[in-house]
Amino acid sequence: DGGITQSPKYLFRKEGQNVTLSCEQNLNHDAMYWYRQDPGQGLRLIYYSQIVNDFQKGDIAEGYSVSREKKESFPLTVTSAQKNPTAFYLCASSTLQGAANVLTFGAGSRLTVL
Amino acid sequence: DQQVKQNSPSLSVQEGRISILNCDYTNSMFDYFLWYKKYPAEGPTFLISISSIKDKNEDGRFTVFLNKSAKHLSLHIVPSQPGDSAVYFCAAGWGTSGSRLTFGEGTQLTVNP
pLDDT in tens, A62-112: 999 999 999 999 999 999 888 899 999 999 999 877 778 899 999 999 999
CA distance A1 to chain B (A): 16
Identify each DSSP E strand in A8-108 by its residue range: 10-13, 19-25, 31-37, 43-51, 54-57, 64-66, 76-78, 87-97, 100-105
At A46, is the pLDDT very low, low, confident or very high (cuts 50, 70, 90)?
A: very high
Q: How far is the C-alpha of B50 from the C-alpha of B35, rounded, in Å? A: 9
Give pLDDT, residue A112: 94
Edge-first strand order for the sheet with B19-25 is B4-5, B19-25, B72-77, B62-67, B56-59
* Digit-coded pLDDT (tens) for A12-39: 999 889 999 999 999 999 999 999 999 8
Give pLDDT, residue A2: 72
Give pLDDT, residue A41: 80
Q: Which residues of chain B have pLDDT under 70?
A: 1, 97
Give pLDDT, residue A1: 64
CA distance B43 to chain A (A): 4
> Does B99 touch chain A if contact means CB atoms closer than 8 Å?
yes
Q: How far is the C-alpha of B108 from the C-alpha of B103, rounded, in Å? A: 15
Give pLDDT, residue B44: 95
Q: How far is the C-alpha of B71 from the C-alpha of B29, rounded, in Å? A: 11
Q: How far is the C-alpha of A64 from the C-alpha of A66, rounded, in Å? A: 7
Give pLDDT, residue B97: 67
Residues of A in contact with B99 (CB under 8 A): 101
Residue A12's DSSP bridge partners are A112
How many Cβ contacts (< 8 angstroms) between chains A and B? Answer: 82
pLDDT, averaged across chain A: 92
Give pLDDT, residue A101: 85
CA dihedral A89, A95, A97, A101 (to 10 degrees): 60
Of A35, A41, A50, the CB nearest to B98: A50
Q: How far is the C-alpha of B21 from the C-alpha of B68, rounded, in Å? A: 17
